[in-house]
């Protein structure tokens, strides 16, 4: 038993576990109450064989969705713990901007079941923050999720593999080409880390996957450096049209 485990009853006595969303009493420090848990949207099968976009009952498992047919992805699939809705949005905001780092184990715990194929041969790499944003926030939320994923899968952590060379504005409201221009040359593999990627299978981790522009830039950098396969993992994936299929 670790010291943290030994002290847990005392922590629970002083700070009774509460649901981070509604404040209701719960059984452990990391988790949600049953009511809030039921409002999470968990993506299921059948799903696109390329990007894991949920199909509902509209298509058979292993089919390919229209976006992937039009523009085949360079990644090897998207492992999303939840679909982005009001509940996941509140969790992301608390985690990213509210310094609620204690949410990381629970959020990563929803991602890991989608990564059952990951083992010690894989490298887990977080989407990088620019150094000024990292200094201002104090932590990289993607790196915190990546640490939790490695603890559960036995994979190696590559927290310093990617770097963001310059700060970029918000991509909200920009079209696909505009997003690509903003991110052109911004995300690269750090000097000296290329050898660690040659022939490697990689899990790229972020908290939210919206348009995919940032993850695509990361995947391209990893593949150029020699990564054999890159799977994108996120806590919440923005797919409004898929919410009705869960």
pLDDT value, residue 204: 98
Mean pLDDT calculated for residue range 204-228: 94
pTM of the entire structure? 0.89
Flag the least confident range among 4-18, 169-183, 223-237.
Answer: 4-18
Asked if the model's pLDDT at residue 10 lies above 50, the reply is: no
Asked if the model's pLDDT at residue 178 lies above 80, the reply is: no
Copy the structure tokens of residue 244.
């009705």
What distance in Å separates the CA atoms of residue 44 and residue 57, rounded to the nearest whole number? 11
Q: Which of 189, 205, 84 is nearest to 92 (CA)?
A: 84
Question: What is the separation, in whole angstroms, between the first and last Cα of the chain?
Answer: 39
Element (H, E) at 8: helix 3-14
Residue-wise pLDDT for 91-143, tens only, equals 999 998 888 898 999 999 999 999 999 999 999 999 999 888 888 889 999 99
pLDDT value, residue 242: 64
pLDDT value, residue 17: 76
Residue-wise pLDDT for 46-89, tens only, equals 899 999 999 877 677 678 999 999 999 999 999 999 999 999 99
The residue ranges of DSSP E strands in the chain, in sequence order, are: 78-83, 122-126, 156-157, 162-164, 187-189, 201-209, 229-237
**Mean pLDDT computed over every residue of the chain:** 86
Q: Which of 200, 195, 232 is nearest to 74 (CA)?
A: 232
Q: Contact, 205 vs 233, CB < 8 A?
A: yes
Q: Which of 144, 41, 23 is nearest to 87 (CA)?
A: 41
For 40-245, the fitting CATH number among 3.20.20.70, 3.40.50.2020, 1.10.760.10, 3.40.50.300 is 3.40.50.2020
Q: Which of 166, 150, 167 is nearest to 158 (CA)?
A: 150
Flag the least confident range among 34-43, 46-55, 181-190.
Answer: 181-190
Copy the structure tokens of residue 165.
């060379």
Tokens 């990381």 belong to which residue?
A: 104
Domain residue limits, the chain: 1-38, 40-245
Query: DSSP of 28-84, one letter per residue?
Result: SSSS--HHHHTTSB---SSB-TTT--B-TTSS-TT---HHHHHS--SSS-EEEEEE-
Copy the structure tokens of residue 98.
């509210």
The neighbour count for residue 183, using CB atoms within 10 Å, is 18
Q: How far is CA 81 from the centre of its chain?
A: 8
Copy the structure tokens of residue 229.
């396969």
Asked if the model's pLDDT at residue 229 lies above 80, the reply is: yes
Q: Contact, 8 vs 2, CB < 8 A?
A: no
Flag the least confident range among 69-73, 173-177, 231-235, 239-243.
Answer: 173-177
Copy the structure tokens of residue 15.
């700070």
């Amino acid at each position: 038993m670790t010291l943290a485990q030994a002290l847990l009853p005392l922590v629970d006595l002083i700070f009774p576990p509460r649901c981070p969303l509604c404040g209701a009493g719960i059984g452990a420090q990391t988790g949600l109450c049953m009511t809030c848990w039921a409002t999470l949207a968990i993506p299921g099968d059948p799903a696109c064989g390329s990007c894991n976009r949920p199909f509902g009952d509209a298509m058979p498992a292993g089919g390919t969705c229209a976006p992937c047919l039009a523009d085949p992805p360079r990644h090897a699939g998207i492992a999303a713990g939840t679909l982005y809705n009001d509940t996941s949005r509140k969790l992301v905001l608390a985690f990213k901007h509210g310094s609620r780092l204690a949410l990381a184990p629970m959020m990563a715990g929803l991602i890991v079941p989608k990564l059952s194929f990951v083992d010690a041969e894989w490298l887990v790499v977080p989407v990088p923050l620019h150094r000024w944003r990292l200094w201002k926030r104090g932590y990289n939320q993607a790196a915190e999720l990546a640490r939790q994923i490695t603890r559960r899968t036995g994979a190696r952590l590559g927290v310093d593999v990617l770097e963001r060379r310059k700060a970029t504005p918000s991509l909200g409201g920009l079209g696909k080409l505009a997003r690509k221009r903003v991110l052109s040359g911004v995300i690269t593999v750090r000097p000296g880390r290329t050898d660690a990627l040659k022939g490697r299978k990689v899990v790229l981790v972020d908290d939210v996957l919206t348009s995919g522009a940032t993850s695509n830039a990361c995947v391209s950098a990893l593949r150029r450096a020699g990564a054999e396969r890159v799977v994108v993992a996120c806590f919440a994936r923005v797919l409004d049209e898929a919410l009705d299929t869960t």
